[in-house]
Structure 1
Amino acid sequence: MKTIQIIIYSFLLVFSGGSLVAQETQGELKVEIESFTLDNGLKVIFHIDRSDPVVAVALTSHVGSAREKEGRTGFAHLFEHLLFLESENLGKGGLDKLSARIGGSGANGSTSRDRTNYFQTVPKDALEKMIWAEADKLGFFINTVTEPVLAKEKQVVKNEKRQRVDNSPYGHTMYVLDRNLYPADHPYSWQVIGSLEDLQNATLEDVKEFYNRWYVPNNVVLTIAGDFDKEQAKVWVDKYFAEIKKGDPIPQMEKRPVQLFETKKLYYEDNFANLPELTIAWPSVHSYHEDSYALEILANYLSQGKNAPFYQSLVEEKKLAPSVSMFDYTSELAGQFMLQVRAYDGKDLDTVLAAIEETFEKFEKDGIPEKDLKRIKAGQETRFYNGLSSVLGKGFQLAQYQIFAKDPEMINKEVGKIMAVAPEDVLMVYKKYIKDKNYVATSFVPKGQVELILENSVQAKVEEEEIVMGAEQEFDLDKEVTYQRTPSAFDRSAEPPYGEQAKVNVPKIWEEDLESGLEILGINHSEVPLVHFILEIKGGLLMEDPEKPGVSNLLANLMTKGTATKTPGELEEAIELLGANIIVFAGEENMILRASTLARNYEETMELVKEILLEPRWDEAEFALSKQQVLSMLQQQKASPNSIAANEFRKIIYGKDHILSNNNLGSEESVEKIELQDLKDYYHNFLSPNLAAFYVVGDIEKNTAVAAVKDLASAWPVKDVNLPEITVPSAPEKPVIYFYDVPGAKQSVLNIGYPALAETDEDFYKATVMNYRLGGGSFASRLTQELREGKGYTYGIRSGFTGSTLPGPFTISSGVRTNITYEALDLIKHILETYAEEFTEEDLEVTKGFMIKSNARKFETPASKLGMLQDIYNYDRDKDFVKQQEETVQNITVSEIRELARNYVDPDKMYYLVVGDAATQLDRLEQLGFGTPVLLNEEVAAEK
């Protein structure tokens, strides 16, 4: 992927012009789309949704890792990166530079086994610009790729692999599993991201061959979804795409389902794992196979929730693991049914496997009850509606159906297939694909704990990268390169003008203050028949005993584990039968209950919320289980460089005795000490309606929404609670560098910053504006442009202010390849030192363009609307604060930005934390001039 972003494709996406058209009696849905094909083979799909003044544009090429050559694995993904860098008519910076100016969501992309896509949501007035830009990628790109550009992007992708795979606990699991599940000549036997060696061996000739083969109109789908004029869009699509030449015919790849002739068991001692993990894969079916719908329900029933057979057996009864994961992973050519269990410390994986087999036998005898099938389908209905929240998601799904189902109208049929699954179908697919069938099982265990692996496992072969100083290929991006431009019937170098300006309408907000002190804020959002709401209560970690942190987190966990009148399983079932979802979690300054439900079931869902909040069960067994699960999470964090960095940086920022220096999960020592009475004391002393606010967004009238909240508040006792006064340490007088040793780390995780501003500070928003070009603007930022695009040091880097009602830290965070740790820090230091003086009028123009134009996307989803309501309540903002922020941006000057930068991003008043390999990197950091680095885990180093 181009940036660190996960895109989830919901197979339940269905939509029609911003409103749903459903025929529930037949279990069918009618969706209005329009599609056509240009003479060169480009397939175009339109969907109109006028709910917000935005348009999503996605270009999807039917090429992924499955269409690579052996020895050039990871090439499709490498190519995805290259396509963002430059094109003939957009120039250097390509779509990234354009995106910043037009207020886009950020040009991004992703690669799978079978397709690569490029996508962005923009204000509606920028649609022609996006069509122009996407066409430039498809027909006017390849000449701009040079040897230095390719060398640099190889480093970026290799950094991505290190971050996602090599430097991550259990990161090699899928590599081991797929190599043994699929034959060596099967295109799914290698990983999408490929191998470091293959990436390094990719040549410029490979790039050109790949582009000319796969990036042709007859292998691409263009989807446009949102608020636009279809006839005008057709004219633009024809103008910019029609003259791009058709490529050679591309034959369809045949399905290649896998048949295993024996069960394979493999193990690996993982340098970053603290717990044993068992992963099992059975060959299953390709995407949209008739059996895939029942397999998905089988996975859901067996593994998800308190009533799931695997949860009841492995988690509650045998206490082998905190959870069980199961899913059907389908792709275009084949599929794999996956089961994964990360067991508790010291648990033998043979014991885990025995429990799995025992549970399967019970399921075969009992099958799936009708009530559970109904419960799962209710959840699918809610997920279906949730999938309608963004035009980008709609564009993704249309392309998915076109490429893999060969029919975008499949969107009108698939929900019916899901709803048609019967109990006997679920049992049938179990017997057909799981029962007594061969599988591949991997045992990933901590170093030195081979006794925990499955019996008769063989050691897996995994190539580990060595840390070698100066081993990376050099490149010079400043060298001027000329190339022959691709001819066109018109001047494509002229950027198209904006269309009619997108009018941003701030949603109408209603509010109600109750006698108890509870405040209600709401927005009517009737695009889909859902209601989303949040109950926020001030407190969280701030209210805890500093000697025993983790109480509020455990209380939040326990609140959905039954009520006085419902067992944990009965409560979960009641929630799911309503098509609802209710979660409770604790943060540093609050506890939050977040829920969504079908609009018709809002009042019944609120009755359950009332039970959860006011009638706790205080289940001793669930409390013990929650403690065990939290302890397991804490143990896992100790093995993850990113988690280590977050936890250690918190201590550095606040000081070890400050309440906010604690992980809100607590520590292993504090969690062990917490008793159920501690949770009861917190509940009775601190949860009060006068510290609470209720935010609601959805297809519901104010009176209906308020009535249910009043019913809750009238039964909720008001308490006299004094919120503690919290002081936050000031910035250091001089820089200090800290190092946490993770021997053999393939990357160094960097966290740089200091205690900065509260969100309520008058400079906070201005400082955020200042930070856009520093590190808040993704590919528009100097940090990204210099460390990633200029040097290839990292896969991603960002900076930002994260204050609340209390001052929070300014932070720069990144993962860089180990052997340039000093060089990366030195470059960051230089950027901070020069940022104020080098900030220009052009920088300000780009910042203003993005921060004002991006407001067209500000209120697209229910989640964004809920976030706006939270900001209004927590920071005492006016309802039109977004307009006020626009005015701030319009009026800010270069001199103000420079002064803000001098005040708030001074590199000589920051802490620098590195989590990496001390043996090769620690001593080098003295060159930064910040003194001798402080080794945070000297006892580890002493043992080396």
Structure 2
Amino acid sequence: MPFKLLVVAAACLSLGSLGLSPAWAADSPAGAGAVISAEGRLAVKHEKIRLANGFEVILVEDHRLPLVAFNLWVHAGPRNEAPGQTGFAHLFEHLLFAGTKHIPRGAADQIVEAIGGTDANGSTNFDRTNYFFTLPANQLETGLWLKADMLGYMLDKVDAVALANQQDVVRNERRQSVENRPYGIVEEAVYQALFPEGHPYRATVIGSHADIQSIKLDDVKAFSRTYYRPNNATLVLAGDFNPAEAKKLVQKYFGTLKAGAPVPEAKAAQPVISAERRVRVTDRVELPRLNLAWHTPAMFQAGDADLDVASHILGGGKASRLHKKLVYEGQLAQTVQVGQESLSLGSVFGIEVVARAGKSLDEIEGLVDTELAALAKTPPSEAELQRALASIETQLLSRMEKVGSLADLLNHYNQMAGDPDFVGKDLARYRAVTPASVQAAVAKYLAKNSRVVVQAMPGEKVLAAEVATPPMPTGKQPALSKAEQAQLNAAEPWRMKQPKAGKALALSLPEGKRFTLPNGLAVVHVAKPGLPLVSASLVLRAGQLSNPAEQPGLASFTAAMLQEGTTTRSAGDVADEIANLGAVLTTTSGSESTSLELSSLKSKFKQGLTLLADLALNPAFSEAEIQRKQAERLGALAQQREQAPAVAGMLAAQAVYGAGHPLAANALGDEAAIRATNAAALRQFWRQQYRPDQAALVIAGDVSEAEVRSLAQSLFGAWQGDASVAASKPQALPPVRSSAARVILVDKPAAPQTALAVVQAGPRAADPAAAAIKVMNTALGGSFTSRINHELREVKGYTYGIYSNFSMGREVGMFGIRGSVRTDVTGAALKDMFAEIKSMRAKPMNAEELSRARNAQLLSLPGMLDTNRVVAATFAGFWSLGLPDSYVANLPAQFAAVTSASAYQAVKTHVDDAKLIVVAVGDSAKVLPQLQSWGRQPLELRDASGQLIKP
């Protein structure tokens, strides 16, 4: 559950701006759910039915992929919580996964993984709780069986043990997402200043330790009887199914569930602030932060859309007013974020500015006030308005690309607007926005005397008094009373058996067609007709491994500079052009590669790709822009030091790769290297590493092969690179000097959790046993139901989540287990983790576990490649790893061939408990005795940069 509420942002678009034509309609070859109606408006073709018990079902037939998304909304969230029960709705979300009458605890997640499910999770925001997964199309009945049991039969089995376990898990989530995260308590302070005691939004979604721990089993049962009834829930099915069959199955699984009493209406008056409220919070951060927040109109009410647009004008990316004023021109701020958080009981408009080191929050606040006053006095330009709408336009279409997010969008509209096909009316709201209405909304709602101001400063983190974690209940749990049994849904023995799958599906994976330009640039085209969206990824084999020893961070610095101007475009021109296109364009550098990624509407793709080509081929490396980027990267270094997981990861890399290896250094570099970077160094790296013979362009989406060939040739055909550089030998890669097993402890005083990274050198991507390694890892720690996560989260309640993975590169690899555990159980968690590793190495998996882990990889492949951006990035990634063109097509056969013996050999070869290096970042005063008691040696104390601290 994300701590900050994510709200659907939909914008009003003209059909011309969407790049839509009458040909893109209900009878399009893709069979997309989004269509243009006869009236010429964007709509979603759907059917809504209501069962006799009040259960709503919305069907969206969409045959683009052999997948079905199941999206269940229960219309209850924190707005429905009783006083003193903050966090209850979110805790209940967790409990709904804890087992039902017909599906034992933990089995539902195992079933979803075993049949190839993806996007399986739940979330809670202030106004609702949702539960979702996407399954292969032949598992329609199994998906309905699972969702119906969650809604109708959880009360039969929930007990004190399940409650206590999930209380531990949720409290660990609070520690991880609020208390041990930089500025987490600051966000909470904003809501506490905005809302009075008793208002359901005051405590944020997560709630407090005291309230979470105070929940009793009787409270759970009462909440379920009130809100978790079919007459207070809606299911959206979106994807590849037969509607007639789906209706029969919905009636079978949901039709006999008992309706509850009418649900009480959630009511809470929106507070009125008549005088500015100022709060100062100290936190263990290096950079100060300013938060401004106002009460604004509720979702879909007058003014809501205008303030959405205002948030883009003020803080929607590099072209926004506040970014230009504070980050670019003034160099006072590290980041700026602005948003209209639209809610049912009244919305919140927020501005968040992280200051650069040594910069004044008061000065920043004064400049923000100047920009707000200007917008309240003078309407924005028509260009600013259209830029904001272009960005929101792309966001909306992107939500309709994936069946899971399309289903969630309809559920959102259904609850918040009473109409699942509200998209057309929503667009009309934005179509009505004018420069004058934006000005009026800002002037009316964003006044100084009606806001909250929270300044976060470096200092001690002040948390509420510790709430003890009770021991797990033991003994036999009491049986349900006769009164409770009478309220349960009727016993239907046929529900005990998991439905059979439909006809086996042929795995349908996207196919890429590859050709090479005369200059050596590889081009891959992946056709994905349907929505008018296209994504591209230009990937270069130039990453951290290519950094000179004396210039750590140079690869990522070079990539970061690409958007800061070309020989014909200034940095401001680049930012404005991206915003005008409504496109998303990113430049990132990793361990072994650098990527430039673009996603846009089809109608704007040529312009976007032209810009991407200019960034890659003609960077300016202006000294003025380099100085700005140096300050930004120094700020990023400071922010890294605040984050325990980031520190653990950096020290883990140092320990695995050893001194002198490029991957042992921070990807950002160090302060000295950042300050020393100049145009000559950047240009030399670019000349040496940015070459067409070491690059690939992948384009995926609604675009033809002929268009791809034409664009690639016209934009990249003249790219030649430096012939003298191309003829030189590549830099020799230093050997990995992985140190012996040891424990490294970094002190983070008063931290409520310990961040762990348990690592060793690992295999490369081309390893012949790669498929067996991935299947083995799924069972060990790579999935929610894996041995490590199950034991530490679901059994012991030590963590919100802890997972293992293999990072298999072209030249090097690493195995790692990462997560955060409660401070007082750090030693116990490590003992249990190592016990699971030893158990995995002791004997091969049984047939059931192997089948589940193998199918989790094999059958989920279509669901893992379901958007243009993911497809483009995946094919680009495989190319950069040196894998063959046929790699994607061969994946099903590779996974199907994994046996218990080959998976066992993988763990014996690549996960050795005797060689693992443990990095722990936490409160040394509490953690050190636990590690000493554990007894693993040697035990080292280091600072956040990796320097050894002598006892």
> For 1:475, which of 472, 475, 478 is the aligned residue?
472
Q: What runs of 5+ residues in structure 2 fail to find an aligned partner?
A: 14-24
The SS at the match of 1:323 is strand
Shift of 1:801: 0.6
Per the alignment, residue 313 of structure 2 pairs with 301
- The match for 2:796 is 791
Alignment match, 2:204: 191
**Secondary structure in 2 matching 1:413:** helix
Aligned-partner Cα distance in 1 for 2:884–2:33: 31
User: Aligned residue for 2:292?
Assistant: 280
Q: 2:735 aligned with 1:724, yes or no?
A: no
Aligned twin of 2:17: none
> Is the Cα contact below 8 Å between 1:84 and 1:94 reproduced in 2?
no
One-letter code of the match for 1:74? G
- Does the 8 Å contact 2:78/2:205 carry over to 1? yes
Question: Once the 2 structures are TM-superposed, how far is the Cα of residue 806 of structure 1 from its aligned partner?
Answer: 1.6
Instruction: After superposing the two structures, state which structure 1 stretch, 551-560 or 387-396, moved more.
Output: 551-560
2:239 alignment partner AA: G
Residues 691-741 of structure 1, C-alpha deviations (whole Å, 9 max, x = no match): 111000011111221222222333323333443232442655x52111111
Per-residue deviation, 1:580: 2.7
State the 1:348 CA deviation.
Answer: 2.1
Verify: 1:834 aligned to 2:848, yes or no. no
Q: Does 1:602 align with 2:605?
A: yes
Which of 555, 559, 564 matches 2:562?
Answer: 559
Q: Deviations over 1:383-440 (max 9, x none)?
A: 2221122111011111111111111121222122223311111101111101344211
Is this contact kept in 1: 2:648–2:920, CA < 8 A?
Answer: yes
- More moved, 683-692 vs 848-857: 848-857
1:91 to 80, 101, 104: 104
Q: 1:940 to 1:258 in 2, by over 3 A?
A: farther
- Report whether the alignment pairs 1:228 with 2:272: no
Alignment of 1:350-361 (within 5 A): 350-361=362-373
Counterparts of 1:2-81 in structure 2, within 5 Å, are: 9-11=8-10, 17-18=31-32, 20-22=34-36, 28-81=41-94
Query: 1:266 is matched by which residue type in structure 2?
Result: V
For residue 343 of structure 2, what is the aligned residue in structure 1? 331
1:676 aligns with 2:675: no
**CA distance, structure 1, for counterparts of residue 445 and residue 902 of structure 2:** 65
Which has the higher mean CA deviation after the structures are superposed, 118-127 or 144-153? 144-153
Higher mean alpha-carbon deviation, 872-881 vs 476-485, is at 476-485
CA distance in 2: counterparts of 1:765 and 1:845, whole angstroms? 14
* Aligned pairs (5 A) from 1:606-645: 606-645=609-648
Given that residues 540 and 590 in structure 1 are in contact (C-alpha distance below 8 angstroms), is that contact kept between their aligned partners in structure 2?
yes
Q: Which residue does 1:819 correspond to in 2? A: 824
Query: 2:404 aligned with 1:392, yes or no?
Result: yes
Work out whether residues 53 and 503 of structure 1, in 8 Å CA contact, stay in contact via their aligned partners in 2: no
> What does 1:487-506 correspond to in 2, within 5 Å?
487-506=490-509
- 2:614 and 2:893 mapped to 1: Cα distance? 45
Partner residue of 1:160? 173
Q: How does 1:190-209 map to 2 (within 5 A)?
A: 190-209=203-222
How much has 1:529 moved relative to structure 2? 1.1
Q: Provide Cα deviations, 1:333-390, integer angstroms capped at 9, x if missing partner.
A: 1111100111011222111111111222333444211112122222222222211221
How far did residue 772 of structure 1 move? 1.1
1:129-177 CA distance string (max 9 Å, x none): 1111111111111121111221111111110000001111111122211
Distance 2:223 2:807 in 1: 43
Residues of 1 paired with 2:761 and 2:528: CA distance? 38
Which residue, 227, 232, 251 being the options, matches 1:219?
232
> CA 1:480 to 1:211, structure 2 compared with 1: closer, same or farther past 3 Å?
closer
Distance 1:881 1:479, change over 3 A: farther
* Paired residues of 1:757 and 1:809 also in contact (CA < 8 A): yes
Given the superposition, is the C-alpha separation of residues 699 and 935 from structure 1 closer, same or farther in structure 2, using an over 3 Å criterion?
A: same
Residue 509 of structure 1, CA deviation: 2.1
Q: Mean Cα displacement is larger for which, 307-316 or 139-148?
A: 307-316
2:709 counterpart of 1:706: yes
- Alignment partner of 1:646 is 2:645: no
Q: 2:580 aligns with which of 534, 558, 577?
A: 577
State whether residues 255 and 332 of structure 1, in contact with CA within 8 Å, keep that contact through their aligned partners in structure 2: no
Q: State which drifts further: 112-121 or 27-36.
A: 27-36
Partners of 1:539 and 1:97 lie apart in 2 by 39
Q: Which amino acid aligns with 1:514?
A: L
Aligned partners of 1:496 and 1:5: how far apart in 2?
A: 38
- Distance, in Å, in 2 between the alignment partners of 1:677 and 1:70 is 63
1:188 and 1:858 map into 2 onto residues whose CA distance is 35
Partner of 1:864: 870
Distance (whole Å) between structure 2 residues aligned to residue 244 and residue 12 of structure 1 = 38
User: Please, which of 742, 757, 779 is the counterpart of residue 773 of structure 1?
Assistant: 779
CA distance, structure 1, for counterparts of residue 271 and residue 907 of structure 2: 58
Closer, same or farther: CA 690–488 of 1 in aligned 2, 3 Å = same
Shift of 1:657: 2.0
Q: Secondary structure of 2:456's match?
A: strand
> Do 1:731 and 1:756's aligned partners in 2 also have CA atoms closer than 8 Å?
no
- Tell me, in whole angstroms, the C-alpha distance in 2 between the residues paired with 1:161 and 1:860: 32
SS at match of 2:648: helix
- Give, in angstroms, the shift of residue 255 of structure 1: 6.1
Larger displacement relative to structure 2 (680-689 or 253-262): 253-262
- What is the SS of the residue equivalent to 1:718? coil
Once the two structures are superposed, residues 579-603 of structure 1 have per-residue CA deviations (whole angstroms, 9 ceiling, x without a partner) of 3332222222222111122223333
Which residue number corresponds to residue 742 of structure 2? 736
The aligned amino acid for 2:822 is R
Give the alignment partner of residue 927 of structure 2, picking from 918, 921, 929. 921
- Alpha-carbon contact 2:33-2:61 (below 8 Å) kept: no
Instruction: Name the CA shift for 1:62/1:90 in 2 (closer, same or farther; >3 Å).
Output: same
Instruction: Tell me if the contact between 1:748 and 1:816 (Cα under 8 Å) persists in the aligned partners.
Output: yes
Structure 1 distance, partners of 2:5, 2:195, is 25
Cα contact 1:517–1:689 (8 A) shared by 2: yes
Q: In the alignment, does 2:860 pair up with 1:848?
A: no
- Tell me the distance in 1 between the aligned counterparts of 2:570 and 2:902: 59
Shift of 1:481: 7.6
Q: Which runs of 5+ in 1 are unaligned?
A: 449-460
Tell me which residue corresponds to 1:756.
Answer: 762
Q: Partners of 2:380 and 2:340 in 1: how far apart?
A: 17
Q: Sequence identity of aligned pairs in percent? A: 29
1:509-588 map, 5 Å: 509-588=512-591
Size of the alignment, in residue pairs?
924
* CA distance in 2 between partners of 1:442 and 1:411 (Å): 35
Q: Secondary structure at the match of 1:265?
A: strand
Give, in angstroms, the shift of residue 686 of structure 1: 2.4
The aligned residue for residue 316 of structure 1 is 328
Q: Supply the AA of the counterpart residue of 1:670.
A: A
* 8 Å Cα contact 2:257/2:489 also seen in 1: no
Partner SS for 1:531: strand
Q: Which secondary structure state, in structure 2, belongs to the residue aligned with residue 319 of structure 1?
A: coil
Between 1:895-904 and 1:338-347, the stretch displaced more is: 895-904
Across the aligned residues of Structure 1 and Structure 2, the Cα RMSD in angstroms comes to: 2.5
User: Structure 1 pair 8/785, CA: closer, same or farther in 2 (3 Å)?
Assistant: farther
Q: 1:305 to 1:872 in 2, by over 3 A?
A: closer
Question: Would the alpha carbon gap of residues 73 and 20 (structure 1) be closer, same or farther in structure 2, given more than 3 Å must change?
Answer: closer
With structure 1 as the length reference, what TM-score do the two structures score? 0.94
Equivalent of residue 694 in structure 1, options 689, 694, 697: 697
Give the whole-Å Cα distance in 1 for the aligned partners of 2:7 and 2:731: 40
Counterpart position of 1:82: 95
Give the conservation status (yes or no) of the 8 Å contact 1:42–1:217: yes
Deviation for aligned residue 1:120? 0.2
Going from structure 1 to structure 2, the CA distance change for 1:659 and 1:871 (only over 3 Å counts) comes to closer
Distance in 2, Cα, partners of 1:864 & 1:685: 29
- In 2 relative to 1, CA 796–465 (structure 1 residues): closer, same or farther, beyond 3 Å? farther
TM-superposition CA deviations, 1:871-896 (whole Å, max 9, x none):
44234444443453333333332222
The alignment status of 1:181 with 2:194, answered yes or no, reads: yes
Report what 1:803 is aligned to. Answer: 808
Give the 3 Å change call, closer, same or farther, for CA 540–52 of structure 1 in structure 2.
same
Rounded to whole Å, the distance in 1 between the matches of 2:575 and 2:885 is 36
